[in-house]
Structure 1
């Protein structure tokens, strides 16, 4: 079966959801997860989202 809809949610984002992560400073990563860092909402990468969730527990 085809995978025509894979990634369709980020096609409308700027640069297809890619950018610089404000937490780890990595470049050209997908910024898919919206979290609150230092009182403001930012989009972070998958690895930083996992770290922030683990630190909150």
Structure 2
């Protein structure tokens, strides 16, 4: 039997959960993984960057975001 509800949560997210990853700057990629910093701030990243080092994530949060 088919799994009819697979991925249905993505349809409720803005832009179907896609955007530009702030760490690797990949465009039109799913941003489904949340990284939490020690100061409590959160950032959504792609699957590849979800396992990135915390230094790389910190550097991405410090650079200015346009948009």
TM-score, length-normalised on structure 1?
A: 0.77
Gap change, CA 1:3 and 1:52, over 3 Å in 2: farther
Q: Which 5+ residue runs of structure 1 have no aligned equivalent?
A: none
In the alignment, which residue of structure 1 is the partner of 2:6? 6
Of structures 1 and 2, the larger Rg is shown by 2
Q: Which has the higher strand share?
A: 1
RMSD: 2.3
In the alignment, which residue of structure 1 is the partner of 2:53? 52
